Amino acid sequence: MNYLKLVFANLMRNKLRTGMTFGAVSLAVMLVVFLLTMPAGLDALLNSVASNTRVSVHNKAGIVYSLPYSYVRKVRLVEGVAGAVGTTWFGGAYEEEGRVTFPNFAVEAEHVGAVYPDYGIASQHLEDFRRYRDGALVGRQTMKRYGWKVGDRITLKSTAWAIDLDLRIVGEIPLERSPVVWIQRSYLDEALVAQRGQGLGIVHVIWVRLEDPNRVEEVMRTIDDMFRNSEAETASETEKSFFGNFFGSLKGFITIVLLVTFLVAACVLVIAANTASMAIRERSSEIAVLKAVGFPRRVVFASLLAESALLCTSAGVAGVALAYVFTHGLRSFAAVIPSLGPLGSFLITPAVAAQGLLLSVVVGAVSGLVPAWGAARKPVAEAFHELF
């Protein structure tokens, strides 16, 4: 017989209630931990895809508006620019009629390597992309999703240009979560001329790689100044900022979800407090007897508080473990279910795990504090008077 045994025996007194409270706190901690990974996960995702020397140049009115193709050549001449590639949305659908299941763009094959050296695309694949006018470079995620391999032939039906293109996969973009597909701009251009007598003529986004990361602001300003008061003014931003804006709506959603999570945590706190209060009230006579046989108030208080703290902390550990399993599960599924999007990037860091555990400790301490204090401070004679 020791204090721990006493605390544990009291926790096991009503197994169903203890189990339910354990489950509620576990799930709440799991939810909170998972959602806390979102901001960090998004940041990590942006860092993983964004380079600090790459900037996007697009129409000031928004990325759905185009820029004249001539802008690309002008941008390449700006001092400090190491390379620039114009990308145009192709919006090709594969098999599933009218539905674009991966992003695909027409790009200038000869400039891709200069702008994306960090992607690690094999030189042979880049060479083949330049050589074959119907060539396509495909992101690894899309390769895996459709079971494609280099040499396969596919047809994409454009939802943007009302044209079908037969393509030959000549290489892979070796980024694990990259779904993107690049096709030759000149191939699309020729096909459009043949179909409607008019070429492409536009780009949607010009991706620019700079020589010096310290001159990013200066070069962006130079580019935007160059096209000021033109028919299509430009807005330049870093790659991280570009993708950050792209995920902007998701961030707003996360803010709402975090708010809901906070409310859930508050609800669980109230539930846990109510449970602790009920558990203590049911044992009023036993607590009175403990005090009568000489247990000091601080010991009674500590043992009662220890019950809720032990319950909630162990539930917190379980919740963090569940969140860990859940995020790893999502990560595994994200490779085969692209619709999970950035959810597959969210992994629990030690800091987030610690926050989850801290939440459970706080819930345990706060929920047990008031009822334990109330039971402990009541004079033993008063307790007996009420009970017997």
Partner 1 sequence: MSWLVSPKGKRYTVAQMRWVTNHEEPLVRTVAVSRIYRRGVDEIRALDRVSLEIPAGHFVAFMGPSGSGKSTLMNLLAGLDRPSSGEVWVAGQRLDILDEDELAAWRARHVGLIFQFFNLIPVLSARDNVALPLLLTHLDKRERSRRADIALRIVGLQDRASHYPRALSGGEQQRVAIARALVTDPDLIVADEPTGDLDARNAETILSLLRRLRSDFGKTIIMVTHDPRALRFVDMAFHLDKGTLLEGEEAARAHEAIVVAASGGVVGHVLP
Interface ranges with partner 1 (CB under 8 A) = 1-3, 5-6, 9-10, 12-13, 285-286, 289-297, 299, 379-381, 384, 388
- Least distance to partner 1 from the beta carbon of 305, Å? 17
226: which residues sit within 8 A by CB, 6+ positions away?
74, 78, 234
| Residues ≥6 apart with Cβ < 8 Å to 186 | 108, 109, 133
In angstroms, the CA 208 to CA 108 distance is: 13
Q: Which is nearer to partner 1, 59 or 303 (CB)?
A: 303
Q: How far is the CB of 8 from partner 1 (least distance, A)?
A: 9
Q: How far is the CB of 1 from partner 1 (least distance, A)?
A: 4
Helix (H, G, I), strand (E, B) or coil at 302: helix
Picking from 140, 159, 54, 91, the residue whose alpha carbon sits closest to that of residue 336 is 140
> Nearest approach, Cβ of 283 to partner 1 (angstroms)?
9
Question: At how many degrees (to 10) do helices 15-49 and 239-246 cross?
Answer: 140
The answer to whether the beta carbons of residues 346 and 327 sit under 8 Å apart is: yes
**Which of 12/256 has CB closer to partner 1?**
12
Q: Which residues contact 81 (CB under 8 A, 6 or more apart)?
A: 75, 208, 209, 210, 211, 219
Q: Which is nearer to partner 1, 99 or 377 (CB)?
A: 377
State the sign of the Cα–Cα–Cα–Cα dihedral 238, 240, 242, 244.
Answer: negative
Locus of tokens 């390379």:
83
CB of 376 to partner 1, least distance (A): 11
